[in-house]
Structure 1
Amino acid sequence: MDLAADVLATSVVAIVVGLVLTFFGYAVLRFAIALYGALLGFVLGAALMGSITGTGFLATTAVWITAIVGALILGTLAFAFYQVAVLVVLAVMGFALGVGLVQVFWGGAPDWLLWVVGIGLALVLVVIGMIGDLPAVLLIVVTSFAGAEAAVAGVMVLAGVIDLAQLEEAGSAAALDHGVLWSLVTLALAVVGIVVQLGAWSARRARLARETAVGGAAADRAS
């Protein structure tokens, strides 16, 4: 792949992934969390039954059945009780965001400062997430900003404002180091993403509340 094709591919991927995170980050990460739980359950189930029967990994029908059951159980649990997983994701994103900001504002920062700021911001996001029922809202905000930064960075590479080396150095926060205009574009896109995601999330919560209320009323009438 030549340089032009490499630039085009990187830009398109950054833009597409960024827009998906900006407008659908909450739903995508909830699905990803459930998928990770299912994969973990599959592996654990297969390993457990394989060790019990002594037949090895995925060697018999019984091992396959146990693996599938494990995937269903852990996948369902991960989807239903995602708050802890969300806090972990927030910590990872907070660390990455902290490191990225230090690299933007102090390119030659020592490694210890990257770790301190990264861990500090990760802890801040986790603590905020634990105060009240905030994992979903925080996940929406963080994914919207992260997605907007990635999408705008992809556009900047495509427009020749930055090159791949600068993108690798500054990461998705490249817009913050190239003038007010790009920063405002990033902020505007992130705000739109937050509004869209919060609207979808609120609508889903309202629908579930109505369904629960209807179910409760039906149960009362039946009793």
Structure 2
Amino acid sequence: MRQDNRPYWIKKLDKRINRFYVNHFLSPQFKSFGKGSAVFKPRFVKVFGANVSIGKFPTIIGEQDAFIQLTSWDVGEWEGEIAIGDYALISPGVRILAAKRVSIGDACMFGHGAYITDSDWHGIYDRTEVVGSPKEVVLEKNVWIGDSAIVCKGVTIGENSIIGAGSVVTKDVPKNSVYAGNPAKLVKELNEGEFVSRESFFSDPKKLADDFDMLDRYTLAKNSTFSWIKSLIFRDKSH
């Protein structure tokens, strides 16, 4: 990881610019966009269609080489919908596509490059058929989808369950279980009542924000404006 050479005031300014972009350019693309969002590199979050909503306190992380794509297909007879609950974590490269409905519960987490779809996007026999035969996808609360995993149409994943990296999920997954592989199969059953979800982070949002601000002040305290400019001009392995 590259060293952050920015002085505190520059990082603070970056955050304000980022918030302006989210409020004026990104959130209006959603049907509804919850309060308390943390969106990193929002220029690399792409929303298509009028029926994409997300709840409060989402964490969304875009990257230049790994765009996030949220698409509700609402053309002709199709009225796709993506409904994401509160406290979601959406990592770089995540794609969620809906021609019918993708429903995601609270506190769900998506690893890098995860793909969720409710359609084949072409007919099996008629390859000119644009959508095919969509079937609703449901992720119950506190589901964790690993890096590059694929969740196919018609699947329901139960509460607290985990899908391993690179897995392909074609059938329902019961709650409190770990599935992995292609096709995904049961690896482990989880104990009930032992889960702490992302919701716990946000029990006191102001304190959380103050803690992060204090961390920034501490870690960037020795960075000067001059050293930051110097690091931009004369780059080395630490910059």
Fold shared per TM-score above 0.5: no
* TM-score normalised by length of structure 2: 0.27
Structure ranking higher on relative contact order (CA contacts 8 Å, 6+ apart): 1
Q: Which has the higher strand share?
A: 2
Q: Which has the higher helix share?
A: 1
* TM-score normalised by length of structure 1: 0.29
Larger Rg: 1
